[in-house]
Amino acid sequence: TPPDLARGDRPVSESVYRLRWTAEDANGDALRYTVQAREAGEGAWFVLASDLTDPQWTWDTNAVGDGRYQVRIVASDGPDNP
């Protein structure tokens, strides 16, 4: 599920956001996550973090330019399925 500000994924400060999500694999494989972002309305996604095993990550947005961004989480069960 995407980050949900109503659920408590609120800014830690003006520029730091704690992102949390839930995911499950139908046959119980371990999941690894990649956090990606893009400027709203743009086509290219860029990687913020990868190979995460915990379904949460803290983003310090000072590392990107001003503007609105979309975030997506990509889950993979690749380690359990070589």
List pLDDT tens digits, range 25-63. 988 899 999 999 999 989 899 999 999 999 999 999 998
Cα–Cα nearest to 53, from 70, 72, 75, 37: 75
The pTM of this model reads 0.79
Buried b (16+ CB within 10 A) or exposed e, 72-82: ebeebeeeeee
Q: Mean pLDDT across the stretch 1-22?
A: 69
Strands (E) across 1-82 are located at 16-20, 32-39, 46-52, 56-60, 69-76
